[in-house]
Amino acid sequence: MIANFSKPALTLALLAGAAVAGPAQAQSAAEGQKLAFDRGKGNCLTCHVIKGGDLPGTIGPELTGLKAKYSRDDLIAIVTDETKRNPLTVMPPFGRNRILSEQEISAVVDFLQTL
Amino acid sequence: MMLRLTIRAAATLALGVLALVPAARAADSIDPLADKAAFQKFYTDKFPKLKLEDFVNGPYSMNEDLHKQWVEKEDFPPYEFSLEAGKEMFSKPFKNGKTYADCFPNQGIAIRQNYPYFDEKEGKVVTLELALNRCREANGEAPFSYVKDDMAALTAYMAYTSRGKPMDIKIPNDPRALDAYQKGKEYFYTRRGQLNFSCATCHVQSPGERIRAEVLAPALGILNAMPIYRSEWSGMGTTSRRFTTCNSQIRGVPLNPQDDEYRNLEYYLSYVSNGLPISGPGARP
């Protein structure tokens, strides 16, 4: 994959990544919010109260203060397949069952970390 | 009264077990009577304000606001059109002059609570929808779609004439019947689909909870209200429709209506609701 980049492009990409890590993450979090509210995708709102979302469900806990409660790796693990931690969970295994791609899960987690 | 019945039933079961020690050992874990008691207790413990018969109103039984909505809805029930059509269809003779009444015990009136039953000749579960289509075919008529319209109208009428009768599903002393029951139970508790839900995930673990604006129904008594007018469907739907759409909603591949798995599921789910009144046809959000 990286081999496909030309050297200047790669350098530029790295520079851009380093320089605008903030905005890029914000953009990813905004993308994550879309996924979290989208009925066909993350659809987190169906079960969880989330700031900014209308008509939330009541099955899961409210998604708030997550950065203090969980590491990024924990959040990725929970979204990917919560049945590993809790076999009785209602939560769908978004990663294992390919409901979301790795990249989408990463964006959703970026969003969760803003809550 | 209830207690005495339970004790007598338990005693009968105990005697049955004693008489069949080798067979009983093989089927050690299959105990429909105990399942039913535990299933019903689970719901009455979870919702201590509700009486058993309240559960047949599904989400409308879950809190006072919803109950009020239900009472208002019953003033102008959205299933009425279908019920009227069903009544008319039921009495209209087939081309050969016979009617549905000729296919059923008691002329088909007030018998909904006995379906599904285990047919020992066929060795399988027979549901009311299946019996209706078999009746049509035996009289030279084409079968109806299982999921809505005509089938919903007919079952609406048959449920209506049975309102208030306690669900009364029997498991005959036949290992195949017990096997059908057990398979239905396994289907009910098995996770499937991309969302990895079993029937129990929503309707045992989460009744009364909301998914977005929709309130999840308790599994107890869920079939007593069938068929239902569902606003979400903008129309009537049968038990077959309920099962197949559930499977689609969890992003699974639905089976065909009246496949063995669904027949067994209906057998299990109806049995554990024994004693609760028939309330169909129903209305749901």
Specify the CATH number for the domain of residue A50. 1.10.760.10
CB contact B253 to A (< 8 Å): no
The token pair at A20 is: 């605008």
Q: Which of B103, B135, B199, B246 is catalytic?
A: B246
The token pair at B266 is: 């209906």
Backbone phi and psi for residue B235, each to the nearest 5 degrees, phi listed first? 175, -175
Q: Is B199 a catalytic residue?
A: no
List of chain A residues whose C-beta atoms are within 8 Å of the C-beta of residue B66: none
CA A69, A72, A78, A79 torsion-angle sign: positive
Among residues B50, B32, B101, which one has the least CA distance to residue B276? B50
Among residues B170, B190, B168, which one has the least CA distance to residue B181? B170
In tens, the pLDDT along B84-133 reads: 999 999 999 999 999 999 999 999 999 999 999 999 999 999 999 999 99
- Residue B239 near residue B127, CB atoms below 8 Å: yes
Looking at residue B65, what is its pLDDT? 83
DSSP letter at B109?
A: S
Looking at the structure of chain A, the number of domains it has is 1
List of chain B residues whose C-beta atoms are within 8 Å of the C-beta of residue A46: 211-212
* Domain range enclosing A35: 7-112
pTM of the complete model beyond 0.80:
yes
The fold for domain B26-285 equals Cytochrome Bc1 Complex; Chain D, domain 2 (1.10.760)
Looking at residue B10, what is its pLDDT? 45
ipTM over 0.90: no
With pLDDT > 70 as the criterion, what percentage of chain A qualifies? 82
Strands B214-215 and B210-211: antiparallel
| Local confidence band at B28 (pLDDT 50, 70, 90 cut-offs) | low
In tens, the pLDDT along B165-213 reads: 999 999 999 999 999 999 999 999 999 999 999 999 999 999 999 998 8
A1 within a domain of the structure (yes/no): no
In tens, the pLDDT along A26-85 reads: 889 999 999 999 999 989 999 999 999 999 999 999 999 999 999 999 999 999 999 999
A2 within a domain of the structure (yes/no): no
In tens, the pLDDT along B50-76 reads: 999 999 998 888 888 888 888 888 888
A54 within a domain of the structure (yes/no): yes
Question: Taking CB atoms and an 8 Å limit, are B205 and A92 in contact across chains?
Answer: no
